[in-house]
């Protein structure tokens, strides 16, 4: 029997084949013209920000800064049946028809290149592999390093660089095949996970918790009042926050909203849509590496309380090539057993030390 692995990092190089290049010509021509008009109004030349270099930067950083207890495993492609649990068959057919082509899928510049459909199948399948690994007990926790990301993809629509909703496919698989009925999905990406919300909007067995930068920030959804509907009323939890919100706001939301919600819901499995664009270097919010570590520690505690620690992370956004790898590293470090560091206020320690250094410099002369 294989030794129990504490943390498994799932990575499959086929996710690098998705590489839209704006110099290529795209289908359909009408959408291509419209998007080029939009891009032409920008002051700087536009490059596709969700590119393969994101994942190679993460892998390189992890090789240079290995974490004991983190094991590497390869992924697999999701089948049409697995994707069909959250996407319609008509949508899948449209996407499959784009294999080998360059095409725009949305005016928000979601695009495919010839290798994209294979990458998207592997991204969703690798998220499933991560969930299978924690469900079987082979791993205590897992992280699927995948792209294209997934949380903006709706049942019938690709959006926001996302083709298939990886985390939703993984949740549906856990319910259908692994006997894990109640799934909690935590989305800490800077952007609201509109696709995940849509897919499970009326589903009482999936609790979707999403903290994100508030509308009008992309995609503009995720209002406080959006709590689900029908049987799923109450199992969608949105926490919109303003630009610049950071560690203290995120951790307050975890303590005061996420933890009571989990205690009420009692999940069998926890999934995290882990976007690292909430880091301050990505310029939308103000989370630090210590913040990502502390959030991971809080989620791990909830998973241990309710579901024997079953916890899988799926990569979403994060576009700064310095903070993305270091953010992933901070999460893996805590999953592997490091004690999270309580985030402080940036610069506070340094100012305290400086105050001590200068303490004697400005003492008023004693009165004679």
3-state class of 162 per DSSP?
strand
The smaller minimum CB distance to Zn ion, of residues 246 and 317, is found at 317
Give the span between the Cα atoms of 330 and 73, in whole angstroms.
19
Before 189, cis peptide (omega within 30)? Answer: no
Q: Does 282 bind Zn ion (CB under 5 A)?
A: no
Least distance in angstroms from the C-beta of 222 to Zn ion: 12
Q: Does 275 bind Zn ion (CB under 5 A)?
A: yes
How many residues contact Zn ion, by CB under 5 A? Answer: 6
Nearer to Zn ion, 169 or 190 (CB): 190
Q: By CB under 5 A, is residue 18 in contact with Zn ion? A: no
Sign of CA dihedral 291, 297, 303, 305: negative
- Site mask, Zn ion, residues 161-200, x = CB under 5 A? ----------------------------xxx---------
d(CA 127, CA 318): 17
- Active-site position among 18, 87, 151, 152: 152
Q: Which lies closer to Zn ion via its Cβ, residue 189 or residue 203? A: 189
DSSP letter for 344, please: -
CB 54 within 8 A of CB 157: no
Selected range binding Zn ion among 30-38, 88-96, 100-108, 315-323, rule: CB under 5 A: 315-323
317, 327, 340, 343: residue in contact with Zn ion (rule CB under 5 A)? 317
Active site residue 192: no
Of 203 and 277, nearer to Zn ion (C-beta) is 277
Residue with tokens 């995290």: 272
Token pair of 1 as six digits: 């029997």
Q: How far is the CB of 226 from Zn ion (least distance, A)?
A: 18
Which tokens in the block code for residue 35?
């998007």
Q: Whole-angstrom distance between the N-terminal and C-terminal Cα of the chain?
A: 83
Question: Distance (Å, rounded) from C-alpha 313 to C-alpha 295?
Answer: 12
Residues within the interface to Zn ion (CB under 5 A): 189-191, 275, 277, 317
Catalytic machinery residues: 152
């Amino acid at each position: 029997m294989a030794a129990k692995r504490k943390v498994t990092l799932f990575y499959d190089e086929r996710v690098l084949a998705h590489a839209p290049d704006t110099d290529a010509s795209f289908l359909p021509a009408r959408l291509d013209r419209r998007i080029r008009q939009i891009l032409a109004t920008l002051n700087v030349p536009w490059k596709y920000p969700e590119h393969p270099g994101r994942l190679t930067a993460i892998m390189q950083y992890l090789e240079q800064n290995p974490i004991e207890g983190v094991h590497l495993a390869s992924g697999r492609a999701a089948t049409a049946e697995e994707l069909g649990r959250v996407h319609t068959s008509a949508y899948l057919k449209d996407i499959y028809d784009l294999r080998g082509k360059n095409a725009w899928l949305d005016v928000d510049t979601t695009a495919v290149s010839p290798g994209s459909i294979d990458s998207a199948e592997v991204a969703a399948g690798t998220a499933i592999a991560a969930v299978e690994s924690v469900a079987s007990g082979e791993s205590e926790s897992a992280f699927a390093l995948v792209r294209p990301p997934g949380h903006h993809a709706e049942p019938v629509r690709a959006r926001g660089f996302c083709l298939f909703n990886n985390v939703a496919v993984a949740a549906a698989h856990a319910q259908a095949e692994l006997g894990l009925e109640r799934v909690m999905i935590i989305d800490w990406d800077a952007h609201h996970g509109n696709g995940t919300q849509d897919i499970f909007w009326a589903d009482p067995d999936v609790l979707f918790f999403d903290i994100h930068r508030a509308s009008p920030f992309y995609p503009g959804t995720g209002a406080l009042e959006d709590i689900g509907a029908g049987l799923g009323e109450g199992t969608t939890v949105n926490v919109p926050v303003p630009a610049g919100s950071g560690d203290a706001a995120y951790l307050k939301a975890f303590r005061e909203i996420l933890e009571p919600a989990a205690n009420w819901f009692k999940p069998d499995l926890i999934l995290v849509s882990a976007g690292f664009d909430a880091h301050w270097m990505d310029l939308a919010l103000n989370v630090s590496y210590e913040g990502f570590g502390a959030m991971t520690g809080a989620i791990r505690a909830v998973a241990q309380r309710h579901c024997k620690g079953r916890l899988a992370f799926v990569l979403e956004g994060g576009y700064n090539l310095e903070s993305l790898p270091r953010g992933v590293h901070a999460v893996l470090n805590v999953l592997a057993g490091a004690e999270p560091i309580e985030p402080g206020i940036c610069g506070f320690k340094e100012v305290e030390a400086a105050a001590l250094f200068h303490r004697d410099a400005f003492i008023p002369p004693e009165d004679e």
